[in-house]
Every structure is written in C-alpha cells, then in structure tokens.
Structure 1
C-alpha cells in the first residue's frame, strides 16, 4: 500500500471524527489550543488504535465485528446527539461558560464515547490491513496523525460558527450526530 492510498484511507476514516469535532467546537464558548488538542488527541489515538486492534484480532473475528459495529456506532452517536438537542432546546440564561463547564464538555467519559463511536469502522480496516500485509505501525501512526490534525481543524471551524449561533448550532450538531449514526447503520444494513 502506497502513501497516497494510505492518505485517502486516513482522510476517509477521519471524516466522522472531523464532523464530531465541528460539533465539539460549536459547544465551546471560548476556544483554547489545549481544547482543540484534547479533541484531536482523543480522536487521533482511537482512530489509530482501532485499526491496530483490528489487525491484531485478524481474520477469525471479522464476521463477528462487522455483525454489530454499526449498531454500536448508531446507539452511541444517537445518545450523544439527543443529549445535544436536549441541551440546545433548554432555555439557559446568557452567561460566560465557566472553566469547569468546558472541562465537562471535554471530559474523559464524553470524549471516550465519541472517540469509540467514530472509530468503530477503523476496526474493520485493521482486519483488512492484516489481509494485505500492511506494515501496521507506520500505517496506524499516519492515520492517527491525519485524524488529530483534521479534528483540531474541525474544532476551530465549529467554534467560529458556534460562538455566533450557539443554540442553533448545538441543535444542528445533535441532529448531525444522529444522522451520522443512522447513516452508518443504514450503510451496513443495506450493504
């Protein structure tokens, strides 16, 4: 597998993380580099780690993994999306977001759930890499770095629009996450 093919795979795998990163950026009143880096690291590590896990598991588990990965992604993205919609529809007084609210938005639990949900498909790519005898360490490192960079850019893009249109943007972000989950589910169910 050449570098261009690997780059195309990395960008394709990182699109879900990029979209969720935009949603994360929408929810941040004030963006700091460390916030974008936190999001990028979560998504980059999981997006690079899942193909490695898939590669290690190998061919014997391929049918079992692909049988339910779409359901996991659908449920996780749906739950997070519904939570965002609920928060967008609740009337809150205008105020500056305190630092502990930002940390809640980027807390371990929330970010881990999102990182798993957006990287499930990468598990199957890892199984494919095992078939193709890909040099796995450079491949997953490259995928992780591409995802990290695109996720950081996504947070910035989301933040630019989110500070102006916070509740509408959060509502849109929730809807997008639910639609992404439904898309993943439908792609797997309909072939």
Structure 2
C-alpha cells in the first residue's frame, strides 16, 4: 500500500470524528485551544488503538481467508464508505448540542464519543490484516489525522456548523470506496502480489 493510500485512509477515518468534533465545538460555545487539543488527543489515541485491535483480529482469521483477502478488504472499505455517505446525507436528528453543553468536557463522554467514531477504524484494521502493510504506521497516521481534524473541528465548530461536518463524512466515505477499489484493482492486475 502506497504512502498516499495510507494518508487517504487516515484522512477518511478522521472525517466522522471531525463531524463529531464540530458538534462538540458547537456545544462548547467558544472552546479554548486547551479543550480542543485535549479532545483531539482523546479521539486520536482511541482512533489509533482500534485499527490495531482490528488488525489482530484479522491476523487471527488470515490463514482461513487468504484466497479472498482482497475481496474482504474491498467489501469492508465499500461498506464503511457507503455507511459514512449515508450518515452524512441523512444527518443525526437526535443530536442535541444544548443538552450536552454541560457535560461536553467530560473525559468519559469524549472517550465514549471517540470510541463510537472509531469502530470503522477497527474494521479497517481487520481489512488491512490481509494486506502487506505495516499496521503501526497506518494506526499512527490514522491517530495523527484524527488528532488534527478533531482539534480543528472543535475550534471551528461554532463557525462551521453541522453541515460542513456531514459533507466531510460524505467525502471520507467516497475516499474509502476509492481506496477499496484501488486495492481490488491492484490485486486483480497482479494476482500473485
């Protein structure tokens, strides 16, 4: 997997966290840099750990599905991409930033939100277990991209609003589908690779 593909995965994985961070920024009103960095660190750390866990799960299953690994990676990326696009188009009607304003700074609330937005990163880890890729580098890139995007999302939350966050999630879904198609295309072009 090329460094550019790894960067695209990192950016795509950070878009749902970015959308959530915009909501957190709105709920915080005028967030301070310290609050944004703290939120980014929590989300980035969780987002870096979950692909490692998914990768371990995928490696355990790898001997049983090696002939289909490229299809599994493609289907997982396609499914995650479509899920992100649907969520971005549909929106979250149940979000209530005003009701969350008092507890938005809570570590556990941030950690739970970070975990909820990182489930897709665990699935990416499962898919990457079937490819020749260094999971530590991918996890670090995902974590750093998420840290940066969440920090930015919190700071800009009150200015960008929810619309930009949903558009970012749609874009992230499209990127995941394209990366999955690239993996499948590369394997079908070079089946022994």
Coarse TM-score class (shorter-chain normalised): 0.5 to 0.7
TM-score by length of 2: 0.63
CA contact (8 A) 1:40 1:149 kept: yes
Partner of 2:96: 84
The answer to whether the 8 A contact 2:55-2:125 is kept is yes
Q: Distance in 1 between matches of 2:34 and 2:46?
A: 18
Structure 1 residues not aligned, in runs of 5+: 74-79, 89-96, 163-168, 184-191
Whether 1:8 and 2:8 are equivalent positions in the alignment is yes
CA change 1:60–1:151 in 2 (3 A) is same
Residue-by-residue CA offset, 1:95-154 (whole Å, 9 max, x unaligned) = xx8xxx4xx312122112211111101111101111003111121111100110011111
> 1:132 aligns to what SS in structure 2?
coil
Number of residue equivalences: 148
State whether residues 38 and 106 of structure 1, in contact with CA within 8 Å, keep that contact through their aligned partners in structure 2. no
Question: What TM-score does the superposition give when structure 1 sets the normalisation length?
Answer: 0.64
Q: Residues 156 and 85 from structure 1, CA distance in 2 versus in 1: closer, same or farther, beyond 3 angstroms?
A: closer
Is 1:44–1:146's contact at 8 Å kept on the other side of the alignment?
Answer: yes
The 1:26/1:85 distance shift into structure 2, 3 A limit, reads: closer
Equivalent residues in 2 for 1:1-191, closer than 5 Å: 1-58=1-58, 82=94, 84=96, 87=99, 101=102, 104-160=103-159
1-structure distance, mates of 2:145, 2:99: 31
CA gap 1:30/1:7 in 2 versus in 1, 3 angstroms:
same
Alpha carbons of structure 1 residues 137 and 31: separation in structure 2 relative to 1, 3 Å: same
Q: Name the CA distance, whole Å, in 1 between partners of 2:59 and 2:93.
A: 33
Aligned-partner Cα distance in 2 for 1:161–1:134? 35
Q: CA deviation at 1:57?
A: 1.3
What are the ranges of 5 or more consecutive residues in structure 2 without an aligned counterpart? 63-75, 84-91, 174-193
Measured against aligned partners, the alpha-carbon deviations of 1:58-91 in whole angstroms (never above 9, x if no partner) come to 25569xxx8xxx9xx9xxxxxx963616739xxx
